Chain A
Amino acid sequence: MLLEVDVAKKIGNFSFQAAFDLAGKKWGIFGPSGSGKSTLMHILAGLLTPDRGRITLDGVCLFDSKKKINLPPQQRRVGVVFQHAHLFPHMNVRRNLLYGWQRTPRAERQISPEAIIAALNLEHLLERGVDRLSGGERQRLALGRTVLSCPRLILMDEPLTGLDQELKFQIIPYLTKVLAQFDIPFLFISHSLEEIRLMTDEVLLFGQGRLEQRLTAEELARRDLVAGGRGYANLLHLSSPRPHGDLWSYRWGAAELILVEPGGKGDNLFELGAKDVTLFKRHPEATSARNLLPCRVSDLFGEGNRMGVDLLVKGSHLVSQIVPESVRELDLKKGSEVVAVIKASAFRRLY
């Protein structure tokens, strides 16, 4: 997909302006409240008319103030998953689901309802009224409804904001699976770094109505490490847990990790703070930590008194946060061999 945007809009005291071209499938829109994310979403969807500018999607002109083109939302084929789902209260699950699909021209119906229903586990809910759905079921239905309208692009406007952690990580797998399975490009809007990292590859960073920066999700996360805040969280996909004494052993890429927590059969996502990764110059003889991973330094970044060390462990990346003094003491450079030491209890399971 190719999205070309160059728009400006003034609403009261708030002025918004952005110009960018996006190619690719998984984009994030990140920024604090009031930075213009929602404004951008409404403009792209056709729910808000910019004061001037151009929007082109896959070569089709959606808006051009000079040529006086302004396609209404129903003609843009841009789907929206709203923060509060906004499921039609007078329709049951099935009718909500098929609302967009019935309004898609036959020739463009690339996605079949049966596939979506299966992918989102909605089969047993089809005849239910939407007022009797749980929070997770509502968001799954909202996603299914939007996907079934076979859009060229999906805008997800903070769909996970306000949900509790457990619910979030219940829904995220569905989101990633469906969007990957049906190959639909999307813009994921959020002010949560965690969600952005899990859902997107590249990110547009907004602040005060302006596009500040384009970077990858990973770079965004690393910026956070430097800025202080909560620090960098390593997100590790682990699988195949096997009992290891009274602990659990997981496969992490080509490496193995020992954890306290048991996991599930499929893909597990664990969080490990960069601050919890201690570096040793040599293999420590005896330590209480259960994970001793030989690795190589692939990158060093940071400023001030916070440094991030990007380590390569049998092909997988791990970031450790240390102070500049330690960098000097351990004489760390690109290519240095070190040992990363992590306690079994330092990992937190997300899903």
Chain B
Amino acid sequence: MAGRAAPKKMSHFARRAAGLLLSVLLLFLLLAPSATAGEVRLSVAASMTEVSKELISAFGKENPGTAVLPNFASSGALAKQIAQGAPADLYISANQRWMAYLIEKKGIVPQTVQVFAYNSLVFVGRGAKPLNSLKDIVSLSLLAIGSPKSVPAGQYAAQALRAVGVYEQLARDHKLVMAKDVRQALIYAERGEVDGAFVYRTDAMLARQAAVLLTVPAELHDRIAYPLGLTQSGARNRAAQAFFTFLQGPVAAEILAAYGFEPAARPVPEA
């Protein structure tokens, strides 16, 4: 009799546990993000935050059934996320390096990669006196730069600073504050916590307190190009392909130009 009672008790418990597990799984599945048809996941460099929102809204007017969900961060961070399996259909990087990294990791379909915008680098700050040349940066006490390890704006800035031979000195003197993306560098400059920050011209246009103290000569760094690519899942997503095409079209080009970017697409019609 005892032998019969014990298994019965255990199976009752096991049943309840299985039931609980199943409901949790179900809940998880229901709540888990999944790309449904008509949904596009976009991972885009932080410097394109505002322009992306307007691009998405413009696309949404022409394609009402589609939802585009953007994710903003530094290009390096985004590349890492996608390589680790984060869901994304399109990836826009602020430099070629991270795109190449993802292509190598087979995260991006190589044939889809196109540069669709360009930018330029400036140095902004709240300071009253503008700077004459890039070398004069050494006279400042603290400046913000996107971490060159993961932020393209920082890489371009570092490249330029190395070109004029002051980067090592600045690093040695501990004058560089590492920002996690170009927007954070801008905030530091806006708040006046640093004497200035290296940001894109497009960011400087959004700044309220900080003004451009210096434009970094374009020959000191690689051309700031924004490559755009479809991921493996994006290539299978019709809505993603539609958005991909839209981004390279004339409507998008006009919006990009309005925000200060240099679109690679058909030149903006003369006003």
Physical contact A–B (CB less than 8 Å): no
Interface of B toward A, CB cutoff 8 Å: none
Residues of chain A whose beta carbon lies under 8 Å from any beta carbon of chain B:
none
